[in-house]
Amino acid sequence: MVLLSLFSPLLLFASKSKQRVPILFINLRPGASSGILLGAITLPGVMLAKMIQLTRAFSSNHIALEEIETWTMQFWSTSTCCLSVLTLLKNSMHESDVVSLACPQRLWRLRLDLGCKILYGVVCYSSLATIYPNVVHVALMLSWIVCHGLVASKLIQHLLCTFPACASIGEALLVTSGLVLYFGDMLGCTIAKVLGAFSSSDLVSFQYTMNRSEISPIVQGLLLGLLLCSVIFKHLHIWECILNTENSEAKKYFEIRRSMIFFALLGFILIVVVPSWMMFVHEFDAHPYLWVISFTFSEPLKRISLCVYWLSLICASILRFYNISRNSKIERILLRKYYHLMAVLMFLPALIFQPRFLNLAFGAALAVFLALEIIRVWRIWPLGQPVHQFMNAFTDHRDSELLIVSHFSLLLGCALPIWMSSGYNDRPLAPFAGILSLGIGDTMASVVGHKYGVLRWSKTGKKTIEGTAAGITSVLAACSILLPLIASTGYILTERWLSLLLAVTISGLLEAYTAQLDNAFIPLVFFSLLCL
């Protein structure tokens, strides 16, 4: 964390002194700063906060050592992803200047780079050696961590080339490290199961020995299936275009045939491939989809009523706000904040009374959003164009025609703190970090700042002191109401108001100063502070 915190500002200063960004990443989101420092420390900071929280739990005998081992591996994997990308940025920035440097300067730079990498490797090895006494086991863990870094450096280039002008460096770094960590976890589970089926050795179990609920592989499988469908369809689409370039008669039915291929492929992956993987990595009592139905109807009155409430609220809100966006002069930034308030109405009651069901519902909603975005991007008939027109009604300057990220960031901003709080959690407000910071704090800051704000934080920015104060005050007020509700469910409260005030204030100031996608960063930072 210290090395990332020192390396990021140096890289940022170097890019500003050259008045340019690295050559590999020239197509960044307009109007956003680089966000290098925030992108490099946010996700490792979350992992470090969870490690500290679980260390408290281990000292009081609430969890096993395997839980700390898991999050230690996640911390080093995430840190390696960020350091690898920062190294890639530095190399791309200075590659054109190497020839002009004198030999002593080049030698000094090489020694500094090598020294930082050696120091990082020694600290990482020492940390893993305290957990895994077996040298071979530590070597396997180091190899696994290095693979994360290599994949991250390749993936960020692919993402920014495939989706130009859709993200800043910090946002791309956050997404890249998150994807590598998430799907690396899936690959690790699969490898452990495969090797465990043919070997009695426990060397392959490493960080995947922790107990997992059925919800985790179901959500992972759905997301993997949708991304896999998109990748396969991309290559099929290329061949379709080649085969139809000279055949004018076939072009007439090209869109219909294309959509049939897409939905057939999607159905095969989600019905056959994905459930097979779920049942392989986790021992379900029944078929995964049957388990979902059984889980939903295990408490039919509460969960079915909650589903009806969600659907009613979504339908009423979408129809109302879509008509307003087309016929009213209300600024889009205020219209979008209504959806933040809707997130509070939807998720807050469920998180208090049905947290496990909300975990599953978040996964289903994210899968639906991803499927609709794939359909929109590929313009799959007959839904592609209507979905595109509807989504455009709620976009802002951070979205582009190529990729709309606002709805993803809002959903994930609310879901990630809840997912990461599953299991042991001695901080009752930590799962509410996304709902409080986005649904209440960000909304009040925008509304009050837009209508009544006078004193701006900077001459060029739009954020006001009045808005920030309103956001901080509203979150504290919500916490004062929320804590008694949590206590009524039997939770033993351990929150201290001074530390809570500090966490809320830091998150509010971050929302005021950052030019990054606040829906992605602020919930994670707030969650980390609450865990500490």
What are the pLDDT digits (tens) for 395-412?
666 667 677 887 888 899
Q: What is the mean pLDDT of residues 263-280?
A: 92
Average pLDDT in the chain: 81
Distances (CA, A) of 224 to 219, 312, 377: 9, 29, 18
pLDDT at 295: 93
- Per the CB < 8 A criterion, the answer to whether 474 and 441 are in contact is yes
Q: Is the peptide bond before 382 cis (omega within 30 degrees of 0)?
A: yes
pLDDT at 434: 93
Q: How confident is the model at residue 206 (pLDDT cuts 50, 70, 90)?
A: very low
The two most distant CA atoms of the chain are separated, in Å, by: 75
Span 32-50, pLDDT tens digits: 677 788 888 999 999 999 9
Look at residues 360, 364, 409, 11 and name the one whose alpha carbon lies nearest to residue 175: 409
Q: Which of 228-237, 289-298, 436-445, 476-485 has the lowest mean pLDDT?
A: 228-237
**Res 12 pLDDT > 70:** no
Copy the structure tokens of residue 430.
């930590």
**Res 133 pLDDT > 80:** no
Q: Which residues contact 156 (CB under 8 A, 6 or more apart)?
A: 85, 88, 172, 173, 176
pLDDT at 18: 45
Burial class (CB in 10 A: 0-12, 13-18, 19+), 84: buried
**Res 4 pLDDT > 70:** no
Higher per-residue confidence, 29 vs 357: 357
Q: Which residues contact 33 (CB under 8 A, 6 or more apart)?
A: 168, 170, 515, 516
pLDDT at 218: 92
pLDDT at 23: 46
Q: How far apart are CA 385 and CA 378, in angstroms?
A: 10
Q: Which of 166-175, 309-318, 335-344 has the lowest mean pLDDT?
A: 335-344
Instruction: Look up the pTM and report it.
Output: 0.89
Residue 456 φ then ψ, to 5°: -95, 150
Partnered with residue 104 across adjacent β-strands are none
Q: Which of 357-371, 399-413, 436-450 has the lowest mean pLDDT?
A: 399-413
**Res 8 pLDDT > 60:** no
Torsion of CA 158, 159, 161, 164, to 10 degrees: 180
Span 493-529, pLDDT tens digits: 666 788 889 999 999 999 888 878 888 899 999 999 9
Number of neighbouring beta carbons within 10 Å of residue 100: 8
